[in-house]
Structure 1
Amino acid sequence: MRLIDEILSDSNIDRAILQVKRNKGVSGVDKMTVDELDEYFYKHRREIRYSILNKKYKPQSVKRVYIPKPNGKKKTIRYTYSCR
């Protein structure tokens, strides 16, 4: 089995969604909430998998948050890519 097939397997995607829910993930640039993930992936799983496998997937921008550090600098936190 190729690595990409394992990454895009239903069980791996389901585990990833569950982990985002457990972490109480925040909305990305697409404003999709954690509660919307199940329905979205139920409807679009094949389409997403196909576009990734055929190198057609174009992720949206990454959401960045800047957190002040004690030394006056800022730390950049990047959230995952949007699916929509």
Structure 2
Amino acid sequence: MSKIVMTFADKGDFAALYAAERWCADNGYSVGSGCAGMPRGLLRGEWVIAKWRNLTGQERADLDGQMTGDFRNGPVTVTVKE
């Protein structure tokens, strides 16, 4: 299975995070709730996604992707399944 990997390195507090969230919204992905030091889950479509720590192993496996990185200072990486 191939993946799309996008890296956002916008400068400023949370700028890379906001850019990554915009990309996700523009491309039809919902973004999970933030949980310090952990990824944020991504699902195609409109979903409410729990914090990473509250997702089961199966729920994590069922995600369409994840957002990782330094959410405050960047860079932030979005990885989604094609």
TM-score, length of structure 2 as denominator length: 0.32
Asked which structure has the greater RCO (Cα within 8 Å, sep 6+), the reply is 2
**Normalized per residue, which structure has more helix?**
1
Whose radius of gyration is greater, 1 or 2?
1
TM-score of the aligned structures, taking structure 1 as reference length: 0.31
Higher strand fraction (1 or 2): 2
